[in-house]
């Protein structure tokens, strides 16, 4: 890849973007030598928990599950979520996976995919669907494949085609996008190959104290009568769908729960699957006994839901500089503004918070899984439409209609949230513009039209994205609305981040339509968030009036939710009446190609090393002795991980244990392991280091260990550039149960 320079248009682009970068900095929103030992240690799920009283249905579903690595190059590329351009990747905390689940009733087939990424973009979806078409013809299509992101804010950016998202990603970054596309397609391939007759069960329960509303003031603006029907201002439901073979042996599960993937905060630089990914991780480790992370047949997907106003940072917001309470309405602090009004918890640091939140979801889901006895029976349906969301007429009541708007973001968008605030003097809850920023906007981007301003009122417009089309449209217009049903279970694919009350209204509307027909009288509706295309947030009309971050980020205007309710009602009614195949397809979204897909990330340069050293050489050695609970650390001379190419299914590091009997080393951890942290630290003048930490778990065996690091370095000799693999190995260290006393 190279930076596209040399035209005055791009110079203008860069100048414009540079200023926008300033505005947006702070907006919240291989070798590789694969070790043979231990990598294919698969074991069957030992737990048989299906109650013997439930007989299989007459003709069972065909089901398949699959998981594949979708981790891209963990260096230089911005992380997707906090939209902070200097929060670039520097290593791996945990790997990212796509998990696919296929169900076929002999007549129809549906696929549900949940991937450890910030959100599914339209670009990603179109690329995946094109790949699936090449491989499978018309078997997997836009109507029967749902793609959802877990909303981790520590996945890689760079897989978007609309200008605003390209700006926060430093462009469309092919190696990042390709890793996700290939990982998703591979997860479908594996699920497709594994299909066999099986059974599905569902179960649901409540998980308290694992989430907190981060815009309670907006929520309170919803009608009192409506709020009165609920005891909490976030949804606490965990819904589990259990997959077994005909013998009752577990194959996999999907869990849906509404909470933001922001336990890892803006200071993190390592690629991480955050709390939901950790729930998947421990559920799979629990079922695939003896397997390394990412290995083994059992697949556990933990999907996002209506998490728009839901934070995992359950200690709540506080002014981190003074310890005072933040302003309730605007989430700002007397000294330091919005930037220092932050939420954290429940752990002592972000790693512990991720672990606690993830473990709580896992424990609840595991319990629901083991007790699931409501078997799903009945046909499968899939309904999908492409909708031009800038032009939907909404029936408000018997006499009044309203319309959706061209996309625009309000001033409070730049304030960020209490999970990560903006750098500038924006605050949440702004219903009036700011002459300073409006002036900058007008001179750079042009003022929004009166029509757009009126349509979005009371939102003061900061980014008039719907009227900005250079070099490509800044926001999408055509949006996927989609739902699938498996027997009584309906999965609604939400094209963005829906707030708690918005999600409740959608669920209620869909349920009502489905229940109007006898075959769906026991309908259960779940929402899969961040699905198919990203359109920021979706609040209720009442929450929109408050214009906190979520309202300011509801891009199609105050009637966005009402439009979705109308559209999803239409899909549900069509399914209930068995005529979903006759729904109008709608306008097909564009797939942009060529130079307008800009890339502002410079190619990774040659690697340099300290004199008299070699790549992979140890700079800071391990200690000779450790005890359980200690942290082992070793630092190597490193190359840029971007030189390692496609890193999927490989590892940059291993922790290896020596076996005396066989005189061989066994890999006990990789860079996918929770216990390991692979830090890549970029120094000056193309020098870089890798520091590998192993946080020794209390369950570790005593014995002799070593840590290895694998990578590639790039060098130039004359006119020739080469990329060469290297590896490094630490000294051997011993782990014992008791503390070593040094004398």
- How do beta strands 109-115 and 299-303 pair? unpaired
Closer to Zn ion by CB, 372 or 552: give it.
Answer: 552
Looking at residues 370 to 409 of the shown chain, list those that interact with Zn ion (rule: CB under 5 A): none
Compare residues 215 and 288 and give the one whose CB is closer to Zn ion. 215
CB distance 567 to 454 below 8 Å: no
Answer for the pair 88, 78: CB distance below 8 angstroms, yes or no.
yes
Q: How far apart are the first and last CA of the chain?
A: 55
Q: What is the distance between the alpha carbons of residues 584 and 567, in angstroms, rounded to a whole number?
A: 12
What minimum distance in Å lies between the beta carbon of 124 and Zn ion? 17
641 Cβ neighbours under 8 A, 6+ residues apart: 73, 74, 75, 91, 647, 652, 680, 711
What is the b/e burial string over 706-725, where b = at least 16 CB atoms within 10 angstroms of the residue's CB? bbbbbbbbbeeeeeeeebeb
Number of residues engaging Zn ion in binding (CB under 5 A): 1
270-299: which residues touch Zn ion (CB under 5 A)? none
Q: Considering beta carbons, is residue 153 or 366 the nearer one to Zn ion?
A: 153
Beta carbon of residue 153, minimum distance to Zn ion (angstroms, whole number): 8
The Cα 526–Cα 486 span in angstroms is 12
Burial letters 353-383, b for 16+ CB under 10 A, else e: bbbbbbebbbbbbbebbeebebbbbbebbbb
Catalytic: 595? no
DSSP state of 459: P
Q: Which residue is nearest to Zn ion (CB)?
A: 497
Residue closer to Zn ion by CB (options 213, 670) is 213
216's enclosing H/E stretch is helix 216-219
User: Which of 273, 311, 343, 688 is flagged as catalytic?
Assistant: 311
Count CB atoms within 10 A of the CB of residue 19. 15
Q: How far is the CB of 157 from Zn ion (least distance, A)?
A: 14
Q: Residue 177's closest CA among 100, 121, 132?
A: 121
**DSSP for residue 214:** S
Residue 738 to residue 743: CA distance in whole angstroms: 16
Q: Which is nearer to Zn ion, 309 or 656 (CB)?
A: 309
Nearest Cα residue to 146 out of 189, 111, 98: 111
How far apart, in Å, are the Cα atoms of 515 and each of 201, 268, 301, 358? 20, 46, 28, 34
Shortest spacing between CB 85 and Zn ion, in angstroms = 18
CA-to-CA distance for 171 and 126, rounded, in angstroms? Answer: 18
Q: Least distance to Zn ion from the beta carbon of 239, Å?
A: 20
Using an 8 Å Cβ cutoff, are 531 and 491 in contact?
no
Binding map of Zn ion across residues 488-507, x = CB under 5 A, - = no contact: ---------x----------
Which of 480/497 has CB closer to Zn ion? 497
Please choose, from the candidates 532, 496, 645, the residue with its C-alpha nearest in 3D space to the C-alpha of residue 174.
Answer: 645
Question: What kind and span of H or E run contains 102?
Answer: strand 97-104
Distance CA 617, CA 639 (A): 11
Which residue, 307 or 572, is less far from Zn ion as judged by CB? 307
User: Residues 428, 432, 437, 440: is their CA dihedral positive or negative?
Assistant: positive
Query: Could you tell me the smallest distance in angstroms from the CB atom of residue 497 to Zn ion?
Result: 5
Which is nearer to Zn ion, 497 or 542 (by Cβ)? 497
Q: How would you class 575 by CB atoms within 10 Å of its CB: exposed for 0-12, middle for 13-18, buried for 19 or more?
A: buried
SS3 47: coil
Nearer residue to Zn ion within complex by CB, 211 or 676: 211
Cβ distance to Zn ion smaller for residue 158 or 416: 416
Distance of CA 567 to the CA centre of its chain: 25
CB 304 within 8 A of CB 529: yes
Q: Are strands 310-311 and 212-213 parallel, antiparallel or unpaired?
A: antiparallel
CB of 307 to Zn ion, least distance (A): 7
Q: Which is nearer to Zn ion, 534 or 598 (CB)?
A: 534
- Nearest Cα neighbor of 618 from 690, 674, 723, 510 is 690
Give the contact letters, 162-201, x = binds to Zn ion (CB under 5 A), - = no.
----------------------------------------
* Of 295 and 497, CB closest to Zn ion: 497
Q: Is 684 helix (H, G, I), strand (E, B) or coil?
A: coil
What track of x and - describes contact with Zn ion for positions 110 through 149 (by CB under 5 A)?
A: ----------------------------------------
Q: How far is the CB of 662 from Zn ion (least distance, A)?
A: 49
Distance CA 434, CA 494 (A): 32
Q: Which is nearer to Zn ion, 331 or 688 (CB)?
A: 331
For residue 371, which phi and psi values (nearest 5 degrees)? -105, 5
d(C-alpha 558, C-alpha 716), whole Å: 56
Q: Which residues contact 203 (CB under 8 A, 6 or more apart)?
A: 239, 240, 242, 368, 369, 371, 372, 373, 374
Nearest approach in angstroms of CB 60 to Zn ion is 38
Q: Do 206 and 238 contact (CB within 8 A), yes or no?
A: yes
Cβ atoms of 196 and 60 within 8 Å: the answer is no
Q: Scan residues 243-262 and list those touching Zn ion (CB under 5 A).
A: none
Q: Positive or negative CA dihedral for 316, 322, 326, 331?
A: negative
Annotated catalytic residues are 311
Q: List interacting residues with Zn ion (CB under 5 A).
A: 497
């Amino acid at each position: 890849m190279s930076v596209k320079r040399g035209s005055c248009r791009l110079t203008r682009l860069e100048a414009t973007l540079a200023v926008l970068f300033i505005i947006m900095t702070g907006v919240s929103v291989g070798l590789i030598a694969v070790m043979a030992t231990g990598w294919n240690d698969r074991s069957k799920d030992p737990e048989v928990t299906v109650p013997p009283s439930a007989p299989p249905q007459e003709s069972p579903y065909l089901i398949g599950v699959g998981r594949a690595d979708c981790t891209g190059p963990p260096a230089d590329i911005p992380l997707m979520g906090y939209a902070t351009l200097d929060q670039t990747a520097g290593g791996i905390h945990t790997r990212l996976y796509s998990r696919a689940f296929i169900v076929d009733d002999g007549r129809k087939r549906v696929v549900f995919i949940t991937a450890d990424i910030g959100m599914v973009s339209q670009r990603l979806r179109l690329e995946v669907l094109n790949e699936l078409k090449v491989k499978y013809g018309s078997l997997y299509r836009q109507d029967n494949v749902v793609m959802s992101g877990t909303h981790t804010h520590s996945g890689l950016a760079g897989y978007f085609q609309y200008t605003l998202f390209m700006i926060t990603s430093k462009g469309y970054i092919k190696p990042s996008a390709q890793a996700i596309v290939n990982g998703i397609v591979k997860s479908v391939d594996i699920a497709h190959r594994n299909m066999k007759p099986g059974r599905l069960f569902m179960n649901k329960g409540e998980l308290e104290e694992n989430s907190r509303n981060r815009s309670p003031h907006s929520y309170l603006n919803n009608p009192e009568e409506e709020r009165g029907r609920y005891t909490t201002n976030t949804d606490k439901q965990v819904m589990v769908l259990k997959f077994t073979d005909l013998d009752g042996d577990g194959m996999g599960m999907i869990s849906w729960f509404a909470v933001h993937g922001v336990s890892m905060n803006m200071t993190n630089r390592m690629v991480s699957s955050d709390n939901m990914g950790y729930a998947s991780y421990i559920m799979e480790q629990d079922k695939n006994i003896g397997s390394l992370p990412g290995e083994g047949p059992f697949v556990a997907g933990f999907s996002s839901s209506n998490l728009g106003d839901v934070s995992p940072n359950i200690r709540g917001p506080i002014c981190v500089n003074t310890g005072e309470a933040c302003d309730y309405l605007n989430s700002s602090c007397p000294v330091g503004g919005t930037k220092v009004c932050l939420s954290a918890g429940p752990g002592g640091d972000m790693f512990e918070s991720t672990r606690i939140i993830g473990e709580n979801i896992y424990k609840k889901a595991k319990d629901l899984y083991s007790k699931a006895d409501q078997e799903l029976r009945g046909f499968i349906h899939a309904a999908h439409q492409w909708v031009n969301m800038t032009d939907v007429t909404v029936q408000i009541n018997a006499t009044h209609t309203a319309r959706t708007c061209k996309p625009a973001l309000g001033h409070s968008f730049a304030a960020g949230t209490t999970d990560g605030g903006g750098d500038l003097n924006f605050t949440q809850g702004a219903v009036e513009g700011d002459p300073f920023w409006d002036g900058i906007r007008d001179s750079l981007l042009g003022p929004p039209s009166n029509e757009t301003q009126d349509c979005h009122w009371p939102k003061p417009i900061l980014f008039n994205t719907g009227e900005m089309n250079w070099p490509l449209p800044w926001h999408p217009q055509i949006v996927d609305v989609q739902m699938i049903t498996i027997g009584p279970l309906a999965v609604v694919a939400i094209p963005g981040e829906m707030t708690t009350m918005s999600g409740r209204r959608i669920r209620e509307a869909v349920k009502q339509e489905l229940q109007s027909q006898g075959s769906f009288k026991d309908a259960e509706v779940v929402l899969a968030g961040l699905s198919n295309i990203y359109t920021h947030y979706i609040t209720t009309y009442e929450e929109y009036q408050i214009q906190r971050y979520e309202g300011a980020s509801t891009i199609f205007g105050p009637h966005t939710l009402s439009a979705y309710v109308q559209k999803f009602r239409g899909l549900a009614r069509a399914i209930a009446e068995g005529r979903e195949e006759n729904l109008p397809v709608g306008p097909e979204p564009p797939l942009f190609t060529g130079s307008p897909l800009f890339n502002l990330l410079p190619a990774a340069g040659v690697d340099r090393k300290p004199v008299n050293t070699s790549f992979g050489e140890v700079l800071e050695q391990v200690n000779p002795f450790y005890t359980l609970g200690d942290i082992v650390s070793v630092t190597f001379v490193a190359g840029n991980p971007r030189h390692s190419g496609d890193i999927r299914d490989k590892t940059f590091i291993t922790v290896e244990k020596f076996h005396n009997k066989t005189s061989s080393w066994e890999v006990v951890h990789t860079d996918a392991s929770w216990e390991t942290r692979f830090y890549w630290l970029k120094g000056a003048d193309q020098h870089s280091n890798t520091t590998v930490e192993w946080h020794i778990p209390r369950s570790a065996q005593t014995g002799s260990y070593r840590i290895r690091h694998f990578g590639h370095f790039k060098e130039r000799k004359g006119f020739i550039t080469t990329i060469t693999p290297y590896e490094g190995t630490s000294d051997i260290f011993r782990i014992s149960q008791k503390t070593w006393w040094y004398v």
